Chain A
Amino acid sequence: MAELFSGAEILLKSLVDEGVDTVFGYPGGSIINVYDELYKYGGKLNHILVRHEQGAIHAAQGYARATGKPGVVIVTSGPGATNVITGVADAMVDSTPVIVITGQVSNAALGTDAFQETDVVGMTGPIDKWTYQIRRPEDVAPAVAKAFHIASTGRPGPVVLDFTKDAQRGRAEYHFEKCDFIRSYVPVPEPDEAQIDEAVRMINAAERPFVVYGQGIVLSHAEEQLKAFLKKGGIPAASTMLGLSALPSDFPYYVGMAGMHGNIASNLMTQRCDLLIAIGMRFSDRVTGIVSEYAPQARKIHIDIDETEIGKIVPVDLGVLGDAAQVLERITERMNFSFHDEWAVTARKYDQVEQAKVVAPEVQRTDGPLTMGEVISKVAEASGHDAIVITDVGQNQLMAARYSRFRSSRSFISSGGLGTMGFGLPAAIGAKTACPDRQVCLFVGDGGFQMTIQELGTILQEHTAVKVILLNNNWLGNVRQWQELFFDRHYSQTRMLNPDYSLIARAYGIRYRMVDERAGLDAAVQEMLDSDEAFILDAHVEEQGMVYPMIPVGRRVDEIMLNRNEWYEDGK
């Protein structure tokens, strides 16, 4: 007779056979059988014990975003499961492959309000890519195999496996079989030749073509295909926030980040182009401003792997459904060599304005408090533009996106679509766990830091050498900025009294340095980067700093505030 294993053990065997080396989790009664097997599993699976389940899923997201491999989370039922919900929603909107295993009460107790029973299937179904309740031990291996296939193919996303006690304790045979086919699921649509030809015609005919790309480039491993496409067509390109680092910052056709706090060039060129080629991006409202006025002169092509995205927000002249790498390769092969030099260099003109009106006032100060821009630029420069940059949410995020520079892909990790404060610290732990040889720098505000600050305990226990740059302004800065500009300076509940972070760092045994003077910045940043342990650099920055340029909500993307008193006027 074939050997029988418990469902709990089959889960771990399946994970190892799928190539998982690390899981992030937190034990509890409904998942205790899995933890019991883990106890016997020794070194095969590295389990990182977080301090809150939200930390587990954000760490798994950081791990996945840094590597492209699915991140794995194991938590208990009830509150363990509800604590990961924010991360599930975050991973869905940001297309991050994660596999969440939630313990669940026994089959007979389902639906009885048993202790720590909650409707995980009902709660996660609408916000994840796939949910499945495993009720029998023989279903464990096929469910895990399907979960990996679904999470990591097509447009990636989170998958939740709700694992009942019966399935954990019951016994079954184990055969590892990778899943690469599900009848109802076609992850990578074959590009349509007629659409490719039409795209080629439109690109060849364009005088001012412009690309806006998103994270789809990273997810499809299409970085090289994008470069070849831009070079052959002589086409300038902007990135969404989640697309950052897909092209090196110094790539000749790269003009910067699009959207609310993006670069002037990218937003103005969007409005002036005669052909907009959107690739692996989803026309977030943070990118489009008023949708009806977005890229008004342009015919539009949208290349995406997810059919629901095409035409969802911005009506397009041509949708090309497919994997970005495949589609770009075919278009590039067929299109003409072209130059649009006069058009491409308009970016320089806009950059000069941005440099003079926005960047210089932020980073070239000689007196007054430190600014976020100065700290971020210094870290970027001193790390050779080669760190993995993680951000939390708020001004710290927007400024990190603006002032960081990138050399390689998968080097910018941030909560985009959901904008989850508290994402940063655990995501940095996940990224550093995945890439121990890379410098991992987290930029975080004093608000978001305190949303998941308990994960310093994970750093303490795991010796995860993340570099935390706390951009400490004693305010919920991003909300304060909106209150200053649009709510008559009614600073309602945005002033924050901070704890003594040096004592917090000490309590967790983490190296710490405070910097509040320009003269001390270089040395402080260097000490942090040189440290081979975790480090908190508590940078006391200007309290009422602002993120500019800014396109206020309800404006066109060419209506750009340069500072409190000045708007950009094109052509002047």
Chain B
Amino acid sequence: MESEKLYIISVYSENQVGLLSSISNIFTRRNINIESLTVFPSEFPGVHHFTFRVFTTERNATQVVKFIEKKVDVLRAFSFEWQHGGASEHEIISDYLQERKNQLK
């Protein structure tokens, strides 16, 4: 058995009614208990930031991130082992938004 650790799953999304419940369903369907959840506007206009703290395995954490990203209204999702923090998240989202903007032009 892979050991369970505390993970932070960090999600950036469009502000979409119903999205939170279908994201939390991704955890419950895999029997992953959500220890805590915060939702707040991110530093990017119109982009919401959710963070979930969950005890789970590395494999589950990676899979959950992919399934969350599969949601149409999710820009990007990340998982970190607790305490590592996400210094590069800001840059990744910033680059992502820039890149998508360029593709639109």
* Contact present for B69 and A307 (CB under 8 Å): yes
How many of chain B's residues have a CB under 8 angstroms from any CB in A?
24
* Contact present for A184 and B17 (CB under 8 Å): no
* Contact present for A181 and B17 (CB under 8 Å): no
A496: interface (CB < 8 Å):
no
In this complex, the member of A125, A129, A130, A150 whose beta carbon has the largest number of chain B beta carbons within 10 angstroms is A125
The 6 closest A-B CB pairs, nearest first, are A125-B22, A126-B25, A121-B18, A308-B66, A130-B72, A184-B75
Q: A125-B25, A131-B22, A182-B72 are known; give 18 further A-B pairs, CB within 8 A.
A: A122-B18, A122-B21, A125-B18, A125-B19, A125-B22, A126-B22, A130-B73, A133-B17, A133-B18, A181-B103, A181-B104, A183-B97, A183-B104, A184-B72, A184-B73, A184-B75, A307-B70, A312-B63
Interface flags for B63-86 (1: CB within 8 Å of A; 0: not) read 100110110111100000000000
Residue ranges of B at the interface with A (Cβ–Cβ < 8 Å):
13-14, 16-19, 21-22, 25-26, 29, 63, 66-67, 69-70, 72-75, 97, 100, 103-104
A residues near B69, Cβ cutoff 8 Å: 307
CB distance from B47 to the nearest CB of A (A): 9
A306: interface (CB < 8 Å):
yes
Give the CA-CA distance A307 to B66 in the complex, in Å.
7
Interface flags for A492-535 (1: CB within 8 Å of B; 0: not) read 00000000000000000000000000000000000000000000
How many of chain A's residues have a CB under 8 angstroms from any CB in B?
19
Give the CA-CA distance A183 to B12 in the complex, in Å.
12
* Contact present for A183 and B14 (CB under 8 Å): yes
Q: B13, B16, B21, B70: which contacts A306 (Cβ < 8 A)? A: B70
A185: interface (CB < 8 Å):
yes
CB distance from A320 to the nearest CB of B (A): 16
* Contact present for A185 and B72 (CB under 8 Å): yes
Q: Which residue of A lies closest to B20 (CB)?
A: A125
Q: B18, B63, B97: which contacts A131 (Cβ < 8 A)? A: B18
B residues near A312, Cβ cutoff 8 Å: 63
A residues near B100, Cβ cutoff 8 Å: 183
Q: Which residue of B lies closest to A146 (CB)?
A: B72
Give the CA-CA distance A185 to B21 in the complex, in Å.
19
Q: Which residue of A lies closest to B18 (CB)?
A: A121
What is the interface of chain A mostly: helix, strand, loop, or mixed? mixed
Q: Which residue of B lies closest to A181 (CB)?
A: B104
A residues near B29, Cβ cutoff 8 Å: 126
Give the CA-CA distance A485 to B9 in the complex, in Å.
46
Interface flags for A292-318 (1: CB within 8 Å of B; 0: not) read 000000000000001110001000000
Give the CA-CA distance A150 to B16 in the complex, in Å.
15
CB distance from B11 to the nearest CB of A (A): 11
Q: Which residue of B lies closest to A131 (CB)?
A: B18
CB distance from A516 to the nearest CB of B (A): 47
B residues near A182, Cβ cutoff 8 Å: 72
Interface flags for A181-221 (1: CB within 8 Å of B; 0: not) read 11111000000000000000000000000000000000000
A residues near B103, Cβ cutoff 8 Å: 181
Q: Which residue of A lies closest to B13 (CB)?
A: A184
Give the CA-CA distance A164 to B56 in the complex, in Å.
39
| A/B interface sample: 10 pairs, CB < 8 A | A121-B17, A122-B18, A125-B19, A125-B21, A126-B21, A126-B25, A182-B72, A183-B100, A184-B72, A185-B72
Give the CA-CA distance A175 to B25 in the complex, in Å.
36
CB distance from B102 to the nearest CB of A (A): 12
Q: Which residue of B lies closest to A315 (CB)?
A: B59
A residues near B17, Cβ cutoff 8 Å: 121, 133
CB distance from B25 to the nearest CB of A (A): 4
